[in-house]
């Protein structure tokens, strides 16, 4: 009456399975890209360091630097 057959049923199940797996692959790919972006930004944030302006020459140096390149640098050498 409705025209159900075994081949139509199997074809429908296979089509649904293919679409489902396709969406799973796409969501994994987008998750991996989002994770990759977040790891890059986290790594970039770790690389940022505050700089201190040297009072004698005006150049910016890292806080851990003992001495600037000038002889009259106020940082202890």
Would 70 be classed as within a structural domain? no
Read off the pLDDT of each residue in 14-30 and give the average, rounded to a whole number: 95
Would 22 be classed as within a structural domain? yes
Would 46 be classed as within a structural domain? yes
- Structural domain boundaries enclosing 50: 6-61
Read off the pLDDT of residues 42-56 as tens digits, 9 standing for 90 and up. Answer: 666 666 778 888 776
Would 74 be classed as within a structural domain? no
What is the CA 36 to chain-centroid distance, rounded? 4
Confidence band for 12, pLDDT divided at 50, 70 and 90? very high
CA distance linking residue 28 with residue 9, whole number of Å: 29
Domain count, the chain: 1
Would 32 be classed as within a structural domain? yes
* Portion of the chain with pLDDT greater than 90, in percent: 31
Read off the pLDDT of residues 50-77 as tens digits, 9 standing for 90 and up. Answer: 888 877 677 777 777 766 667 766 655 4
Give the pTM. Answer: 0.44
Would 47 be classed as within a structural domain? yes
């Amino acid at each position: 009456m409705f025209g159900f057959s075994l081949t139509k049923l199997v074809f429908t199940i296979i089509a649904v399975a293919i679409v489902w797996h396709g969406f799973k692959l796409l969501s994994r790919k987008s998750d991996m890209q989002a994770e990759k972006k977040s790891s890059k930004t986290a790594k970039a944030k770790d690389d940022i360091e505050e700089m201190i302006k040297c009072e004698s020459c005006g150049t910016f140096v890292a806080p851990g630097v003992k001495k600037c390149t000038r002889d009259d640098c106020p940082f202890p050498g």
